[in-house]
A and B are shown apart, each in its own frame.
Chain A
């Protein structure tokens, strides 16, 4: 698999320069049940997903990408 990530600071760069940070999840939950879901039950659904990428071999900044997990097509930054 290979994709190019449109980094807002560095331009389009191969994904191997990035660290994948997983699907975008809320940072906080309102209660213990919700927190359990937040931490352990990501959507992991096929299709468009908002996800975090860290440009480790570049600007060392995070970005949030919208990517189709089925086709790997990138639908821009969030």
Chain B
């Protein structure tokens, strides 16, 4: 039908083949090398429950090849071993268990101290399953939300029955299955029943069947995460029916991980579905009726079968075929693949030659998902997953779950009993043998949970699907306590998930743009992320932009500022109550600097408040703090039961800062209103008409020059910007970006919140006591500030002067002690000095004045550096 590439050789495949079945047909027996000891591993479960068939397909590692469709032209390779998986020199590790005992990373290669760093490099290279190409471009799926009435997980007999019954009751049903319906079921009674039920279900409009859709986690709600090739579903159903079936018990005996040893369903599937026999001489160990049917499937496929089974089964076995009644497996032999097996029956042990050993010794509910939801009443189990083994029992159980008659309490009936393992590999994923568990037990790790953590058993790709119960049985038997030996906690993901899927939805990010975005691009602006906004950092030459502000005039897009209109009967009372700034006496047309403190007295934001008349206030906050400011104000209005209307105008208003010594010249030509120093002084607010655009103008100055912040309707932004730019040509105006502003504000000693400040900064640490009115009766954080006022100041933000500008973030040293850190620094053109801000810690209750910063000296100086009297600001 086609072929794919396997390590440089073409491998043909047939209709319905998986990568695993095609490779097996082509003669591949060693599919992977085990995690630690590089033991050969071959096909085993064929149902996606073990790690043995994990391969790399088209560069994507970690794929279970038994669940991966063979595809024309695909490139398939095995990940482990050197020089190859087939001839793996690293399998010497299998003879070196002494050096890689369980928990080896806690105890070997630890002396001398440098030994571990060398050993770690080797161990990291030689262990693991496959290689991840970290340069591969991710393809991150979208998230889709669905809310069916009933979600059925698993399209087997119980799941299909549940879907049919629920749909009959008028429910909207979503049924998801990891593979395709019936895909993993060998021909026989089970498959016939599934096909019949499927035919019914496919005719029902209210049932949506999603194949190749893997439920990987159940969360409170219930919320079920379903991974698909190109999307992640977040399903939020009223009820979840977990019909994930059962996995055959993983037999543990000496040699149990040799290639050629199969779980019954795997061997039957290979022979029955893919038409490939697992071997020519098979020993089939069956203690269930299902196992007997697998033996028949193999016999029909032409395999010479020796049946080891209870006498009741062997008596029904054809007289010309070989059978050992009531036998059990003792040990398997072989090097590359199994060559013989010791079977004990009665007092006798016989060695049978074989090239396949097929084991069907019982079923264990596949309950990884179910056990994530033990406390959720809306999640119920059905069929094999609920321990209702057998076709009729499964269909009946599915029907009851579909009808909503099953209680979640029934989910706990799914435990099975079997003896604890005594020898062999318990955990195939992590290479943990019974001897490892015994050793860990002797070392004192004496419960199932702690054994799991120490040995890493159950922590591999199969997530305990095969070994979880064995681990619990081991711990229960050793401790004599069911509680100590309880199953370990089940957590998502229940099935392997691509990293891309875990990141689903993460690229659905919001890019906020101001109305001037296109203009910035036209002007050659270098736009970058600033929080969730895209903003210009410069227009090519930030030093020239800086000089325009200091010497002529400049515009900047400050539309990202948080902007709030606060109105209503109690507007003034609210603002006076929450901010440390006095608002009660703020007269109309005036503005004040605003700090916002949390209840611990720490600075959370800053901005400007202005009284705009009729009892209304206009509040601005930092760009990054806008969302939090709105929530914060609303919360206080709500909690204090004040009658306030708050409109978040951040998105509806744009804002342009016009600043520089000649800013007034520019503005006065564009408005008929009086913008003289007397009519519109510093820290005033006016409503201005600027070339027909209604602006709320604030005379503020973060950059330290005469400045006007023009808040305007968003749609008028481009027209206003153009008018200002045109009028500015005569005075040499140019726009400035964030880079220029960074130096401008630094020269004024203004901090950038979160760059120069820490989360536990109260105003005193920032030298901002002037912005706090402790005379006020109350404000948020006042009690905390009073408490802290009595404590000595341990740290503060200071102005710094250097011989040479250091790296931002550089430590400040006093003798040999680090006593601070530089948070902002730059060469100041206006001052012809190297200046900065930084943290300084008190030493013996005093703050040093002379510090060292790398190979430059740092002197603590007063701020602002530039125009300390604020004459330019008030010009």
Q: Hey, which bits of chain A sit against chain B, CB under 8 A?
A: 1-4, 14, 19, 21, 27-29, 32, 35-36, 38-40, 52, 54, 56, 60-62, 71-72
Looking at B389-397, B443-451, B634-642, the stretch in contact with chain A turns out to be B634-642
Residues 210-254 of chain B: 1 if any A CB is under 8 Å from the residue's CB, otherwise 0?
Answer: 000000000111010000000000001000000000000000000
**Does the CB pair A56–B627 fall under 8 Å?**
yes
Q: B638 — which chain A residues lie within 8 A by C-beta? A: 61-62
**Does the CB pair A4–B783 fall under 8 Å?**
no
Q: A39 — which chain B residues lie within 8 A by C-beta? A: 599-600, 783-784
Instruction: Name 15 interchain pairs, CB-CB below 8 A, sorted by A.
Output: A1-B219, A1-B220, A27-B636, A27-B639, A27-B640, A36-B783, A36-B787, A38-B599, A39-B600, A56-B627, A60-B630, A62-B631, A62-B634, A62-B635, A71-B375
- 8 A-B pairs closest in CB distance: A35-B783, A2-B223, A2-B221, A39-B599, A54-B631, A72-B220, A27-B639, A62-B638
Closest A-chain residue to B601, C-beta based? A39
**Does the CB pair A40–B600 fall under 8 Å?**
yes
Q: How far is the CA of A1 from the CA of B375 in the complex (A)?
A: 13
Q: Hey, which bits of chain B sit against chain A, CB under 8 A?
A: 219-221, 223, 236, 375, 599-600, 627, 630-631, 634-636, 638-640, 648, 778, 783-784, 786-787
Q: What distance in Å separates the Cβ of A58 from its nearest Cβ neighbour in chain B?
A: 12
**Does the CB pair B639–A60 fall under 8 Å?**
no
**Does the CB pair A35–B784 fall under 8 Å?**
yes
**Does the CB pair B783–A52 fall under 8 Å?**
no
Q: How far is the CA of A14 from the CA of B640 in the complex (A)?
A: 27
Q: A3 — which chain B residues lie within 8 A by C-beta? A: 220-221
**Does the CB pair B634–A28 fall under 8 Å?**
no
Q: What distance in Å separates the Cβ of B816 from its nearest Cβ neighbour in chain A?
A: 36
Q: B600 — which chain A residues lie within 8 A by C-beta? A: 39-40
Q: What distance in Å separates the Cβ of B762 from its nearest Cβ neighbour in chain A?
A: 13
Q: What distance in Å separates the Cβ of A53 from its nearest Cβ neighbour in chain B?
A: 10
Q: What distance in Å separates the Cβ of B846 from its nearest Cβ neighbour in chain A?
A: 28
Q: Which of B600, B627, B640, B783 has the most CB of A within 10 A?
A: B783
Closest B-chain residue to A29, C-beta based? B783
Q: What distance in Å separates the Cβ of B601 from its nearest Cβ neighbour in chain A?
A: 9
A4-B221, A38-B599, A56-B627 given. 18 additional CB < 8 A pairs?
Answer: A1-B220, A2-B220, A2-B223, A3-B221, A19-B631, A21-B635, A27-B639, A27-B640, A35-B784, A39-B600, A39-B783, A39-B784, A54-B634, A54-B635, A56-B631, A60-B634, A62-B634, A72-B220
Q: How far is the CA of A56 from the CA of B629 in the complex (A)?
A: 12
**Does the CB pair A28–B631 fall under 8 Å?**
no
Q: A61 — which chain B residues lie within 8 A by C-beta? A: 634, 638
Q: How far is the CA of A43 from the CA of B375 in the complex (A)?
A: 25
Q: What distance in Å separates the Cβ of B378 from its nearest Cβ neighbour in chain A?
A: 12
Q: How far is the CA of A35 from the CA of B779 in the complex (A)?
A: 13
Q: Which of A4, A27, A35, A36 has the most CB of B within 10 A?
A: A27
Q: B221 — which chain A residues lie within 8 A by C-beta? A: 2-4
Q: What distance in Å separates the Cβ of A2 from its nearest Cβ neighbour in chain B?
A: 4
Q: How far is the CA of A36 from the CA of B627 in the complex (A)?
A: 28
Q: How far is the CA of A72 from the CA of B223 in the complex (A)?
A: 13
Q: How far is the CA of A72 from the CA of B631 in the complex (A)?
A: 24
Q: B634 — which chain A residues lie within 8 A by C-beta? A: 54, 60-62
Closest B-chain residue to A70, C-beta based? B375
Q: What distance in Å separates the Cβ of B185 from its nearest Cβ neighbour in chain A?
A: 33
Q: How far is the CA of A57 from the CA of B627 in the complex (A)?
A: 11
Q: A35 — which chain B residues lie within 8 A by C-beta? A: 783-784, 787
Q: How far is the CA of A35 from the CA of B648 in the complex (A)?
A: 31
Q: How far is the CA of A29 from the CA of B783 in the complex (A)?
A: 9
Q: B639 — which chain A residues lie within 8 A by C-beta? A: 27
Q: What distance in Å separates the Cβ of B539 from its nearest Cβ neighbour in chain A?
A: 34
Q: How far is the CA of A71 from the CA of B784 in the complex (A)?
A: 34
Q: A2 — which chain B residues lie within 8 A by C-beta? A: 219-221, 223, 236
Q: How far is the CA of A1 from the CA of B222 in the complex (A)?
A: 9
Closest A-chain residue to B224, C-beta based? A2
Q: How far is the CA of A29 from the CA of B219 in the complex (A)?
A: 39
Q: B631 — which chain A residues lie within 8 A by C-beta? A: 19, 21, 54, 56, 60, 62
Q: What distance in Å separates the Cβ of A24 from its nearest Cβ neighbour in chain B?
A: 9
Closest A-chain residue to B600, C-beta based? A39
Q: B778 — which chain A residues lie within 8 A by C-beta? A: 28
Q: What distance in Å separates the Cβ of A57 from its nearest Cβ neighbour in chain B?
A: 10
Q: What distance in Å separates the Cβ of A68 from its nearest Cβ neighbour in chain B?
A: 11
Q: B786 — which chain A residues lie within 8 A by C-beta? A: 32
Q: A28 — which chain B residues lie within 8 A by C-beta? A: 778
Closest B-chain residue to A21, C-beta based? B635
Q: What distance in Å separates the Cβ of B219 from its nearest Cβ neighbour in chain A?
A: 5
Q: How far is the CA of A36 from the CA of B601 in the complex (A)?
A: 11
Closest B-chain residue to A54, C-beta based? B631
**Does the CB pair A32–B783 fall under 8 Å?**
yes
Q: Which of B627, B634, B639 has the most CB of A within 10 A?
A: B639
Q: How far is the CA of A14 from the CA of B505 in the complex (A)?
A: 16
Q: What distance in Å separates the Cβ of A69 from its nearest Cβ neighbour in chain B?
A: 12
Q: What distance in Å separates the Cβ of A60 from its nearest Cβ neighbour in chain B?
A: 7
**Does the CB pair B635–A52 fall under 8 Å?**
yes
Q: A21 — which chain B residues lie within 8 A by C-beta? A: 631, 635
Q: How far is the CA of A29 from the CA of B638 in the complex (A)?
A: 18
Q: B640 — which chain A residues lie within 8 A by C-beta? A: 27
Q: What distance in Å separates the Cβ of A25 from its nearest Cβ neighbour in chain B?
A: 8
Closest A-chain residue to B599, C-beta based? A39
Q: A71 — which chain B residues lie within 8 A by C-beta? A: 375
